[in-house]
Amino acid sequence: MILQNKYVLLGITGGIAAYKAVELLRLLKKAGAYVTVIMTESAKKFVGITTFEVLSENPVLSDLYFDTDASVKHIELAKKADAAIIAPATANTIGKLANGLADNALTTTLLAVTCPVMVCPSMNSDMYQNIRVQRNLDILEKDGWHILDPDSGVLACKTTGAGRLPEPWFIFDRIEAMLTRKDMKGKRVLISAGPTVEAIDPVRYVSNHSSGKMGYAVARAAEKRGAVVTLVSGPVHLDSPVGVTRINVESCDEMAVQMLSRLGEVDIIIKVAAVADYKPIDPKSSKIKKKDGHSELTLNMVENLDILKLIGEKKTKNQFLVGFAAETDDLEKNAVLKIKKKNLDMIAANIVGADDSGFKADTNKVKLIFRDGSFSDIPLMKKNEVADILIDHIIEKML
């Protein structure tokens, strides 16, 4: 959402990783941004301009003197830009920009922008580590530009080390973070997500349908808004949100240990996880065998720890505690009871059972209910949008 209708300049310089800029451009366009690509002459030797013109639906700016109106256009573009990215950025372009030199369309435009700028260096690892390149990167960073560290790995020149352009999805994620307001800066947030699994024997377990999508969306949103985020996660098939410390757990008991041991270090606790309420009393150490095809198996279960309730008992006045409630009936009544019983500041109540809300869906419909009885209905929307609204309310209540 943050990139919707934003004007983005995508600078491409002459490196083998220039092909990755194609996918980055696609992601920016998909997010609703208006993109103008600016290429250096060497960049054009790696990927042709037609690809960028077609995907960006815009002419590529590359020659200050021969492009129609370009001598004015680069200043116009610079003025209009909401963000500028150079990916890949060569040592040559980095050096020019750090020293205020402008001898082509890219450097001239970039010296005229006032928007946030992200520089993504990509080159041979010895070049990257060269003291002059590092000095130039330091200058740009001190001057307020964002430098995205390159990945390490085998490089095009067959050496191994730092210098690879990060994957386009990662650069895209960091562009979103760069443009997001940092209203959670200084806040430490502990989030739980996903299901817990409770062993019956070494191969079977009791669990639920939580995919982790809602909790991961909250973690991603908080991180982008500047918080230091720790995510305690049950088993899910999701990539870790960028910049978040993820701790994997399986059972409720393991989740309890990880959450409770971190309580003293955090300002906000958000418990999105769908914790199994019961666990088998006596999990077997070897696989339970079936018998003659007609046998019955009775599982004796015992209530798990209520982690949220324990946190509610321990939380200090300055900590903000949020629970989630998955309900099939009496949504409001049950959610309000949970606020009192578990000493919460806020609960996000969602009706589960529909295809487009609750477990596994990409969207959710929740009602936020606060300790003072006030509430806010969030209509059906994407889980990352729900996450942002949830955080808006937390910030407002904490002020």
Q: Which of 183, 253, 277, 392 binds ligand PMT (CB under 6 A)?
A: 277
Q: Which of 162, 325, 339, 390 binds ligand PMT (CB under 6 A)?
A: 325
Q: Tell whether residue 359 is a contact of ligand PMT (CB under 6 A).
A: yes
Q: Tell whether residue 307 is a contact of ligand PMT (CB under 6 A).
A: yes
Size of the site for ligand PMT (CB under 6 A): 28
Q: Measuring CA to CA, which residue among 221, 228, 215 is closest to residue 180?
A: 221
Candidates 43-51, 114-122, 243-251, 273-281; binding stretch for ligand PMT (CB under 6 A):
273-281
Contact 260, 314 (CB under 8 A): yes
For the chain, first and last CA: distance in Å? 25
Q: Tell whether residue 266 is a contact of ligand PMT (CB under 6 A).
A: no
Q: Which two tokens stand for residue 92?
A: 């040559």
Report in angstroms how near the CB of residue 352 gets to ligand PMT at its nearest: 5
By CB under 6 A, the residues from 332 to 351 that bind ligand PMT are 338, 350
Report in angstroms how near the CB of residue 254 gets to ligand PMT at its nearest: 12
Burial class (CB in 10 A: 0-12, 13-18, 19+), 22: middle
Residues serving a catalytic function are 157
Taking the mean position of all CA atoms in its chain, how far away is CA 283? Answer: 36
Q: Which of 177, 273, 336, 339 binds ligand PMT (CB under 6 A)?
A: 273
Q: Tell whether residue 358 is a contact of ligand PMT (CB under 6 A).
A: yes
Q: Tell whether residue 28 is a contact of ligand PMT (CB under 6 A).
A: no
Q: Measuring CA to CA, which residue among 261, 230, 257 is closest to residue 245?
A: 230
Contact 332, 367 (CB under 8 A): yes
By CB under 6 A, the residues from 191 to 220 that bind ligand PMT are 210-215
Contact 350, 379 (CB under 8 A): no
Candidates 35-43, 62-70, 197-205, 302-310; binding stretch for ligand PMT (CB under 6 A):
302-310
Candidates 22-30, 106-114, 220-228, 306-314; binding stretch for ligand PMT (CB under 6 A):
306-314
d(C-alpha 222, C-alpha 216), whole Å: 10
Q: Which of 93, 279, 323, 394 binds ligand PMT (CB under 6 A)?
A: 323
Q: Measuring CA to CA, which residue among 118, 173, 167 is closest to residue 141?
A: 118
Give the Å distances, CA to CA, from 140 to 80, 107, 133, 214.
21, 13, 11, 37
Report in angstroms how near the CB of residue 191 gets to ligand PMT at its nearest: 10
Nearer to ligand PMT, 21 or 352 (CB): 352
Q: Tell whether residue 274 is a contact of ligand PMT (CB under 6 A).
A: yes
Longest distance between any two alpha carbons in the chain, whole Å: 85
By CB under 6 A, the residues from 224 to 253 that bind ligand PMT are 252
Give bridge partners of residue 382 from the DSSP assignment.
363
Q: Tell whether residue 352 is a contact of ligand PMT (CB under 6 A).
A: yes
Q: Which of 24, 61, 123, 275 binds ligand PMT (CB under 6 A)?
A: 275
- Which phi-psi region, left, alpha or beta, contains residue 100 (left: φ > 0; alpha: ψ -120 to 50)? left
Give kind and range of the element (H or E) at residue 89. strand 83-89
Binding site for ligand PMT (CB under 6 A): 210-215, 252, 271-275, 277, 304-308, 323-326, 338, 350, 352, 358-360
